[in-house]
Amino acid sequence: MPAVLQLQDVRFGYEPDQVVIDSLSGELAGGRLCALIGPNAAGKTTLLRLMLGQLEPGRGVLRLAGQPLGRIAPRRRAAMVSYVPRHGQVSFAFTVEQVVTMGRFALSRDDEAVEEAMAVCDLAPLRRRVFAELSAGQQQRVLLARAIAQARGDGCAILLDEPVSSMDLRHVHQTMQTLVRLARSGLAVVVVLHDLNLAGRYADDVWLLHRGRLAASGPWRQVLTAQRLGSVYGVQVHRLDQSPAGRPMFCVEVDATLKTARDAEPHRTATP
């Protein structure tokens, strides 16, 4: 599949002397699910906002479907890229159905797209519930459905920031399988994950972000190695090859990791 999102030597900082994304280049193809992983404050959310056009890079170029991102009109960009934020912020007593319908706000009305999105995300029984009264996991499913409804038509990419962080176990895997199906339909799917086992189980490609740079990127087999993950995250990682799906699973050597952290702390001299 051709590249949907292209980044060339992208650099960004919220302040001139505080670089968050530095010299980052890469391509995201349609038909593939890319897991964006890395430690806290590595720049993952900022990178998504750059891909959305919410932030403008200080250097470099981002292209969406071959066009410079900044030159695409907002309404057209909304038809091409949909977004699932980490947390939902919906004012007033909007129902689940109304929030999902908001995905079509900048586009043509499509009741069928709204119904299908709610069905995919297991929301039909909640359609008349007030969004603000739902659990955090339920709200995440509503935001995903809104993005799916938005992607109907000219959608070519969907970006998600920790979309399963508050979900129960069943809905975590149901959601990840939905994202795989969206990728197989031709979308470029980029999802921020903290669970390495989810990345190992579902991703086609992985971008490993560290201090604003790509420590590694490519097919999951190349990126998800215990040595590389341990180096970036600062922990001792073991890879387990016992998954029935033939995908890797990882565990952390907790005692060794905590000991390393204690040894790295500065020694304090007791005050008499």
**Residue-level pLDDT at 119:** 97
What residue ranges of the chain have pLDDT lower than 70? 242-244, 256-272
The predicted structure's pLDDT at residue 16: 81
pLDDT tens-place string over residues 8-35: 999 999 998 889 999 999 999 999 999 9
Give pLDDT tens digits for 101-135.
999 998 999 999 999 999 999 999 999 999 999 99
Give pLDDT, residue 235. Answer: 93
CB atoms within 10 A of CB 28: 23
Backbone conformation region of residue 43, classed left if phi is above 0, alpha if psi is from -120 to 50, else beta: left
Domain parsing of the chain, residue ranges: 3-224, 225-265
* pLDDT the model gives residue 270: 46
Cα–Cα distance for residue pair 247/203, rounded to 1 Å = 10
Provide the whole-model pTM.
0.91
Distance of alpha carbon 267 from alpha carbon 245, whole angstroms: 46
Tokens 């086992």 correspond to what residue?
Answer: 197
- Determine contact, residues 71/116, Cβ cutoff 8 Å: no
Q: Which residues contact 228 (CB under 8 A, 6 or more apart)?
A: 208, 215, 216
Give me 259's structure tokens: 């000991």
Q: Cβ distance 212 to 19 under 8 Å?
A: yes
Output the CATH code of domain 3-224. 3.40.50.300
